[in-house]
Structure 1
Amino acid sequence: MSNTLRHAKITPHRSAARGHSNHGWLDTYHSFSFANWYNPNFTHFGALRVLNEDRVKSNSGFPTHPHRDFEIFSYILSGELTHTDSTHKKGNDVQESKLFCRVRRGDIQFTTAGTGVTHSEFNRGREPVHFLQIWAIPWKRGLTPRYDWGRYSDEDKRKGFVSLLSPLKGGVDATAEQEKAAEPMIPGTIAIHADFVMAAGIIEPGGKFEWTVGANATAASKRKVYVHLPMTKGGKAKIRLDGREDGTLVEGDGAFVDGVNAGDKLVVESVGDAEAEVVVLDTA
């Protein structure tokens, strides 16, 4: 396959270069500087600030702790995670009570920390939970805290990239009514307070998906895309970006895609022996 983004710079971020800590109950990898691990080469990428790949054992988890002024979300790869937070928002079928939400494979949970929230995340299931915890830098501080969640099927993700998050309509100057409505630029996604789109796709071996940079959801022409291949198939999944041999990623790897413009097409090809679950984080 020939590359179509000759103007783009693609820089792999190898799994071995991530920060790693194993606390027994928690096995965690940090793509960007986090907690006690700091690398000046990996501090943020556009609005993307944190990308942790976590595994939490049964009957373990993160006790109640505070956050401010970040957009914080978890994408569940396997198992289940029980989330409680001080917004006490009641949702639909995944809500067991007004105080907590249990999310499972394919779900994404989202918190605008804004002026301040406290929350906890605990694995009350019988099996370990494997998930990505991601933080984005919002376009302004002091936002009203909000909780949301979404469920996205594997069936849809096997057809192409499925957008999960997109910018709040109204942007940085959103009115109080727009904030309350929490309507995203892309229907069916969760609204985020950042020029940021998250998507996921499951690509069978030999298959390829095309990501449209910006997802037609932003006015910013200059973009950055971070691609991550989670560790879900015991090392059997592998992808290639833009047909480039030096753009080949194995499980746990990511890649910085720089110098792209809204509307560009990034081709992601599955070249391993197992289907690849690919996460795309598209930011200004």
Structure 2
Amino acid sequence: MSIKRTMSKLNHAKITPYRSGQRGAANHGWLDTKHTFNFASYHSGPDSFGSLRVLNEDRVAPNSGFPTHPHRDFEIFSYILSGELTHRDSMLKKGAEGKGGKDDFYRMHRGDVQFTTGGRGIAHSEQNEDSNNWVHFLQIWAVPWARGLTPRYHTQTFDEEAKRQAFVKILSPLKAGPGASEEQETQAAPAIPNTIPIHADFVMGAGLLGVDKRFKWTVGGADEGDVTTKKQGRRVYVHVPMTKGGNAKVRLDGRESAVLGEGDGAFVENVNAGDILGVESVGEAEAEVVILDSD
């Protein structure tokens, strides 16, 4: 199946594909993981891209997972692709899960995003407590605009059908910015309504593009107003998760040199807030696309 090619709209943008085979890979039996950035024993990739520091595509076996471990001074989020991921942490007593509102939401499924501000220190575990099925998810870290923040959690479900209509915004900067008061931190109002607030000049989106579908991403979330601080020279990372057995493909900005398969990503540089990045589905299956738009 083919799709009519659209011409490049962002001639000033530099788009560099980063193929799945270039990523770091490790299989520990219980964990099959791919690293886009340098992580653990993988040191052959980039260190970061703007505020984006980690993008791991993880598969965890039934009845296994990451035991309790500490984090600090990173914004950490899990985007669930399939299966079930159970989160427990040092701020939530075992047995009290799910009883205190959405931020105590602990057993996650497809469509859920779990977000952690590590700040001055937290400890959590991520387990697959399902006895039969693997869990598949993206683990993403960003560098916050300040150290020593108050640790916080947010969990939110994002509608699958909405993702089939356009890119859905997942994260946006804390509206109050780096100078937020403790009250504003507690209120946790995001710059874009109905998103999760992040302590970074960072917007995340996700979409499900049916065959022959074309979506547009507005750099910096500028279609939602004055969202981000850095307007010029933003950096956007596009990732295509491995969800359709290799049958999904997308093309960025109408460029044949920027066709991405499952597991591939692309560094998009020299773009400015308000630029429109076109993403077309050119494969044989619906393509899941995650956008990480950073300073």
1:95 offset after TM fit, Å? 7.2
Counterpart Cα distance in 1 of 2:144 and 2:229: 17
Work out whether residues 25 and 57 of structure 1, in 8 Å CA contact, stay in contact via their aligned partners in 2.
yes
Counterpart Cα distance in 2 of 1:197 and 1:229: 17
* Cross-structure match for 2:42: 37
* Cross-structure match for 1:81: 85
* Cross-structure match for 1:49: 53
Residues 218-253 of structure 1 show CA distances to partners (whole Å, capped at 9, x for unaligned) of 132121100000000000000000000001000000
TM-score normalised per structure 2: 0.92
What percentage of residue pairs aligned between the two structures are identical? 62
Q: Which of residues 253, 259, 262 is equivalent to 2:273?
A: 262
1:153 offset after TM fit, Å? 1.3
* Cross-structure match for 1:58: 62
Work out whether residues 95 and 102 of structure 1, in 8 Å CA contact, stay in contact via their aligned partners in 2.
no
Q: Which of residues 151, 164, 174 is equivalent to 2:180?
A: 174
Unaligned 5+ runs, structure 1 = none
Unaligned 5+ runs, structure 2 = 1-5
Work out whether residues 87 and 147 of structure 1, in 8 Å CA contact, stay in contact via their aligned partners in 2.
no
Shift >2 Å, 4+ stretches: 89-98
Work out whether residues 37 and 48 of structure 2, in 8 Å CA contact, stay in contact via their aligned partners in 1.
yes
* Cross-structure match for 1:107: 112
* Cross-structure match for 1:279: 290
Counterpart Cα distance in 2 of 1:261 and 1:228: 19
Counterpart Cα distance in 2 of 1:166 and 1:114: 18
For 1:224, give the aligned amino acid.
Answer: R
3-state DSSP of counterpart to 1:24: coil
Alignment of 1:1-284 (within 5 A): 1-39=6-44, 41-88=45-92, 101-125=106-130, 126-216=132-222, 217-222=227-232, 223-284=234-295
1:87 offset after TM fit, Å? 2.0
Residues 95-126 of structure 1 show CA distances to partners (whole Å, capped at 9, x for unaligned) of 7996x700100100000000000000000123
TM-score normalised per structure 1: 0.96
1:91 offset after TM fit, Å? 7.7
Counterpart Cα distance in 2 of 1:93 and 1:280: 32
Count how many residue pairs are aligned between Structure 1 and Structure 2. Answer: 282
Aligned CA distance change for structure 1 residues 122 and 108 (closer, same or farther; 3 Å): same
Residues 54-90 of structure 1 show CA distances to partners (whole Å, capped at 9, x for unaligned) of 0001101000000110000000000010000112287
